[in-house]
Amino acid sequence: MKNKGEIYRISGPVVIITGLNTKMYDVVKVGNEGLMGEVIGIEGDKSTVQVYEETSGVRPGEPVENTGMSLSVELGPGLLESIYDGIQRPLPVLKEKMGDFIKRGVSANGLSREKEWDFVPTVKKGDKINGGDIIGTVRETLNIEHRILVPPTISGTISEIKKGKFKVDQVICTLEDGKELTMMQKWPVRKPRPVSKKMTPGTPLITGQRILDGLFPVAKGGTAAIPGPFGSGKTVTQQQLAKWSDTEIVVYIGCGERGNEMADVLYEFPEIKDPKTGRPLMERTVLIANTSNMPVAAREASVYTGITIAEYYRDMGYDVSLMADSTSRWAEAMREISSRLEEMPGEEGYPAYLAARLSEFYERAGKVKALSGKEGSITVIGAVSPPGGDFSEPITQNTLRIVKVFWALDAKLAQRRHFPSINWLNSYSLYTKALGPWYDEHVSPDWVKLRNDAMELLQKESELQEIVQLVGSDALPEDQQLTLEVARMIREYFLQQNAYHEVDTFCPMDKQFKLLKSIMSWGDKAHNALDGGAPIEDIMKLKSKDDLAKVKYEKEFDKALGVILKTMEDEFAKLRGK
Amino acid sequence: MTKEYKTISQISGPLIFVEKTEPVGYNELVNINLPDGTTKRGQVLDTSDDIVVVQVFEGTGGLNRDCGVRFTGETIKLPVSKDLLGRILSGAGEPLDGGPRIVPEDRLEITGAAINPYARLPPKDFIQTGISTIDGMNTLVRGQKLPIFSGSGLPHNEIALQIARQARVRGSNEPFAVVFAAMGITNEEAQYFMADFERTGALERAVVFLNLADDPAVERLITPRLALTAAEYLAYEHDMHVLVILTDITNYCEALRQMGAAREEVPGRRGYPGYMYTDLASLYERAGVVKGRKGSVTQFSILSMPGDDITHPIPDLSGYITEGQIVISRELHRKGIYPPVNVLPSLSRLMNSGIGATRTREDHKAVSDQCYAAYAEGKDLRGLVAIVGKDALSDRDKKFLEFADMFEDRFVRQGVDENRDIETTLSIGWELLAELPEAQLTRIDNKYIQKYHPAHKAKEKEGK
């Protein structure tokens, strides 16, 4: 059959074409304007296509052309610092080509064909190379070395390798069988890139957020979900993670989210400095922005585009974190397309393959040994926006079956401006055990116990609160009143963190440990003092308690904490003296 | 001249099915000629070689299989010109005020195109609405979309009008306009809005689109798009700052559901179509500020929550798209407090970029956070008091309980024509906070306490 057909029917983003020989997931150019679409169903000589652009005014009978390729992304130097739409078209290029508003029928390369990169080979003539091997490097941004990989499907012996400045589509390496390699390769987004081995994660992702690192850590190569109703701080948490996570590469997917928020990210990221390198965060970031009013099919693709880019950097041996905000919008895009296809719906109108798609996506996370032999990881953190904040809905439930860490956002906490509004009783992390040895070595052997004690105290607080709700706090015995007070200190002094405060926005592990330890030891001392007969009113009035509240904002934390610990010693000594 | 087809095969609700046409474009505008000589308009929803589905805006009443159908070959466009200002148009864009037809400077597609996120400027210009609960606690900025979540019988219209009257960017005299789109509201409500626009002279700077309760429901699907197209035109071509008021989003969604049902689509939650999120986003996202253009579009929509249920799909999906929400409380309204804004579930996501030293005042965020926390605690204690009585509370708790009452009485409550500037709002906040023990003000940096706390201010004066 031929590779030119015509449109038979149009209903929104779903177009049915006829007379064209297609394979599933082939990319086709639809209509006179050549709108980009993807084959998602075949029946007889008709194929169903989801179109990534607006279809107003397109008519039956217009021509359709098959590119014969699956939806792919371009991988190579130049990905970092880029900002793409859901199908890897750079937004700045789109703006140049079509102005401030997204029109249609414009194609744009994911990687610039103009820019030259300084290629330094690491292999030589006569070397045997296999798929995934590193053949050279390019300094992509000041701190990131881009390792040029052999496409996974290619192997052979090098007959020629070049050195010097090249554009991404120029040949840098020729194999004996005549195959030519460039710095750029294409990879179909719906297919995971191959690895040599999957490994078990054992290092925590340090995010600088106390409740995450301290109580519910995620491992590098792990998966986490942040579900929460609107206004509970999903986006702020995701952005904090993108800003402060200690991975080398960050891929941030704004999937069906707000335009103004994406604009904010676009403005802010080039301004913020990476705490480790002092360079702008943007230099290690790839942004994918497909706002809620951009075409729905491209929204469906954006998540795959993002994870494929993440896999590419993982294969170079980097730790990558990927934030998807929000996976619910992605699932809704699936639902919308599914309903236009008149498929039999599953739960709440979502397609029956929802769970399979979600788990396929999260399974692309992980710590791996890449084909090149280097170790890399992808940590996936997916925001979920459950309708009405109801966690029993299908996306949250299907996600929770897969991910290992659950950060439950709570609208009640957000309303009283407890940020990050992650509920410490409902959240969990299944990595705490696996990460234990790391904490012993890198933070303190006391850390795990300290964390467990704090959690226990918070649990106890919630039990006591139930009693307080019935009888009032004055009716409790004094030692329980004190327990409530220490729990409150943990909540307000430790768990609350101000993302907009210059110092408090990022809290290193060491500071977290010292802060929590100081609060807990204040609690121990207070209980001792109470047992020793000191009146509870006096204990509650201690200056050191109020001082602990604000120490997290201090620029010179260690010094300030030292002073407070001294005050604390003195005050409790005095109480004992009485 | 385009061909007229007399091949309607089926009429079902607001839809007609036309057979054996030449290729017809998706979303194309359709004219339907009735036997009595009148014409109705519609839009193509689904097109194929065999059959074309058309939704009829004015309803299918009076249609039969003898009607002639003409496909115009273009999508729906709004004729725009600066003369739109001061005009009252129907929900389909026809003049209602007896004035002449608009002589267009341009004809714009009403679906609009998405703003390239890269072309957007993050909104940060503080809009002073003169309402404490909004300015102080949920600040509105230019280019934001901030809906009012209300319920039937609550004074959302008064609040919307007060905002339309008072909203200003301080220290700026830039041209601004109001675009008002009514979707399925009653004639009486529309009269109320019109009377207020006339009373305050706002009508000269306004474009009004009216789709009233007895107008066809399908027309509601295009009314907000016409309004937003007009708004974008005034903002981006004529450098105006446009405030768009859409009311009532709930009626719009009902119309959407009605269309979905007529098309026999697979329904989503509570029968609303699965694409409602995307559809609403295509309205709400048409707010913003574009780099290099002077104007802006700010949206202030009204949405009545069915049964005051914020988890209902309409407010729920809206909340996920808009940059916050102002929630109107029936409880406060019953207490006789105007404007009955419940600040706890209310939120402005863009507040942080619109406030602070250079925009409002350095202590703004701290004061607002502290008021939030204290009010939330005070409200919780009300529940406790109902069980154990006030006497069982500690002295500290009693202070917070009193704070909540005072907050509602002095901070939330204000007059319909009372226009408080931000300094007034913040100093009311400080007066209330001063009633709490200073050690409890944990969210406020000590330097602001020294500078703004009434007790310290008084001391400073004495010192001088």
pLDDT digits (tens, 9 = 90+) for B277-304: 889 999 999 999 999 999 999 998 999 9
Measured in angstroms, the CA of A363 and the nearest CA of chain B are apart by: 27
Mean pLDDT of chain A: 91
Higher-confidence residue: B217 or B427? B427
Same domain, B83 and B142: yes
| Phi, psi dihedrals of residue A366, rounded to the nearest 5° | 135, 165
The pLDDT value recorded for residue A174 is 95
Last residue of one domain, picked from the residues B322, B354, B386: B354
* Predicted local distance difference test score (pLDDT) of residue B288: 94
Chain A CB contacts of B276 under 8 Å are: none
| Digit-coded pLDDT (tens) for A247-286 | 999 999 999 888 898 888 888 888 888 777 888 889 999 9
| Closest chain A C-alpha to B117 CA, distance in angstroms | 6
Tokens at A499, concatenated: 């993302």
The closest CB to that of A59, out of B24, B122, B311, belongs to B24
Shortest CA distance from A496: residue in chain B: B443
Phi-psi region of A256 (alpha: psi -120 to 50; beta: other; left: phi over 0): left
Looking at the fold, whether B183 and B108 belong to one and the same domain comes out as yes
The residues, any chain, with a CB within 8 Å of residue B340's CB and separated by 6 or more, are B154, B155, B328, B329, B330, B331, B332, B333, B412
Task: Tell me if A339 sits within 8 A of A312, measured CB to CB.
Answer: no
In chain A, the domains with their CATH numbers are: 4-69 (2.40.30.20), 112-183 (2.40.50.100), 197-430 (3.40.50.300), 447-577 (1.10.1140.10)
3-class state of residue A351 by DSSP = strand
For residue A472, give the nearest of B211, B395, B220 by alpha carbon.
Answer: B395
Host H or E run for residue A38: strand A35-43
Position A320 scores a pLDDT of: 97
What pLDDT does residue B164 have?
A: 86
Could you tell me which residues are beta bridge partners of residue B181? B209, B246
Residue with tokens 């602001």: B448
Q: Chain B: nearest CA to A1, how far in angstroms?
A: 21
Per-residue pLDDT at B1: 52
Average the pLDDT over A152-165 and give the result.
94
Is the reported ipTM for this assembly greater than 0.90? no
* Cα–Cα distance measured from residue A154 to residue A131, given in angstroms and rounded to the nearest whole number: 5
Q: Which of B354, B376, B410 is the last residue of a domain?
A: B354
Which chain A residue has the Cα nearest residue B263?
A340
Q: What CA–CA distance (Å, rounded) separates B19 from A178?
A: 57
- Partners of B446 on chain A (C-beta within 8 Å) are 550
Spatial CA neighbour of A498 closest among A548, A553, A451, A555: A553
What pLDDT digit, counting tens, does each position of B90-129 carry? 988 889 888 898 899 999 999 888 899 999 999 989 999 9
Q: Report the percentage of chain A scoring pLDDT > 70.
A: 99
pLDDT, tens digit, 9 for 90 and up, residues A93-136: 999 998 999 888 888 999 999 999 999 999 999 999 999 999 99
pLDDT exceeds 70 at position B461: no
Q: Are residues B36 and B134 in the same domain?
A: no
DSSP A130: -
B54 with B162, same domain?
A: no
Residue A535 CB partners (closer than 8 Å, separation 6+) = none
Q: How many other C-beta atoms are found inside a 10 Å radius of the C-beta of residue B168?
A: 18
Residue list for the binding site of A: 228-235
The whole-angstrom distance between B340's CA and the closest CA on chain A is 17
A469 is written with which tokens?
């709700």
Which of A8, A50, A82, A230 best probes binding to B when mutated, by most B CB atoms within 10 angstroms?
A: A230
Q: DSSP class of residue A210? A: I
- Interface test mutation site (partner A, options B149, B277, B326, max chain A beta carbons within 10 A): B277
Interstrand relation of B28-33 and B39-48 (parallel, antiparallel or unpaired): antiparallel
Residue A1 has pLDDT above 70, yes or no: no
**Do B123 and B268 fall into the same domain?**
yes
CA dist B47 and B17 (Å) reads 10
The answer to whether residues B10 and B156 belong to one domain is no
Contact present, B60 and B16 (Cβ < 8 Å):
yes
Are residues B18 and B107 located together in one domain of the fold? no
Residue of A nearest to B279 (CA): A293
Contacts B372 to A, Cβ<8 Å: 415-417
| Closest chain A residue by Cα to residue B22 | A60
Whether residues B65 and B133 fall in one domain: no
Quick check: A470 pLDDT over 90? no
CATH code at position B10: 2.40.10.170
In whole numbers, what is the pLDDT of chain B averaged over residues?
90
Query: Which residue, among A81, A258, A326, would best test binding to B if mutated, counting the most B CBs under 10 Å from its CB?
Result: A258
pLDDT at residue B246 tops 90: yes
Cβ-defined contact of A293 to B353 (cutoff 8 Å): no
What distance in Å separates the CA atoms of residue B397 and residue A309, rounded to the nearest whole number? Answer: 54
Pick from B75, B321, B439: CB nearest A57: B75
* Residues of chain B with C-beta less than 8 angstroms from the C-beta of A389: 311
Residue B44 pLDDT exceeds 70: yes
Q: What is the CATH number of the domain that holds B377?
A: 1.10.1140
Residues of chain A above pLDDT 90, percent: 69
Number of domains in chain B: 3
Residue B236 predicted with pLDDT over 70: yes
Contact A57 B113 (CB under 8 A): no
Of B332, B354, B376, the position where a domain reaches its end is B354
pLDDT at A92: 94
Write the CATH number for B254: 3.40.50.12240
pLDDT digits (tens, 9 = 90+) for A479-492: 999 999 999 999 99
Given an 8 Å threshold on Cβ–Cβ distance, is B120 in contact with A348? no
In the prediction, which pLDDT does B401 show? Answer: 94
Closest residue to A263, CB basis, from B120, B312, B377: B120
Check pLDDT > 80 for residue B172.
no
Taking the C-alpha atoms of residue B312 and residue A77, their distance in angstroms, rounded to an integer, is: 47
A-contacting residues in B 328-387 (Cβ below 8 Å)? 344-345, 347, 349-350, 352-353, 365, 369, 372-373, 376-377, 383-384, 387
3-state secondary structure at position A88: coil
Q: Which residues contact B180 (CB under 8 A, 6 or more apart)?
A: B193, B197, B206, B207, B208, B209, B227, B244, B245, B247
pLDDT digit string, tens, across residues B121-160: 999 899 999 999 999 999 999 999 999 999 999 999 999 9
Nearest by CB to B113, from A101, A416, A472: name it: A101
Same domain, B408 and B430: yes
| Nearest one of B174, B160, B197, B137 to B345, comparing CA atoms | B137
Q: Evaluate whether A380 touches A324 at the Cβ level (below 8 Å).
A: yes
Say which of A259, A411, A473 has its CB closest to residue B115: A259
Enter the DSSP assignment of A491.
I
Q: What is the pLDDT of residue A46?
A: 92
For the entire predicted model, the pTM comes to: 0.90
Residues B347 and B390 occupy one common structural domain: no
Which of B48, B266, B388 shows the shortest C-beta gap to A9? B48
The span from the CA of B440 to the CA of A47, in Å, is: 66
Alpha-carbon span B184 to B247, nearest angstrom: 8
Locate B123 and state its tokens.
Answer: 């909104």
- Domain with B299, as residue range(s), is 78-354
A301-336 pLDDT tens trace: 999 999 999 999 999 999 999 999 889 999 988 988
Is the same domain home to B168 and B277? Answer: yes
Q: Let me know whether B30 and B121 are in one domain.
A: no
Residue A347 per-residue DSSP state: G
**AA letter at B158:** E
Q: What is the pLDDT of residues A179-216, one digit of tens each?
A: 999 999 999 999 999 999 999 999 999 999 999 999 99
CA atoms within 13 A on the CB side of A442: 13
B 210-239 residues inside an 8 A Cβ radius of A: 236
Q: What digits encode the pLDDT tens for the residues A389-436?
A: 888 999 999 999 999 999 999 988 988 888 899 999 999 999 999 999
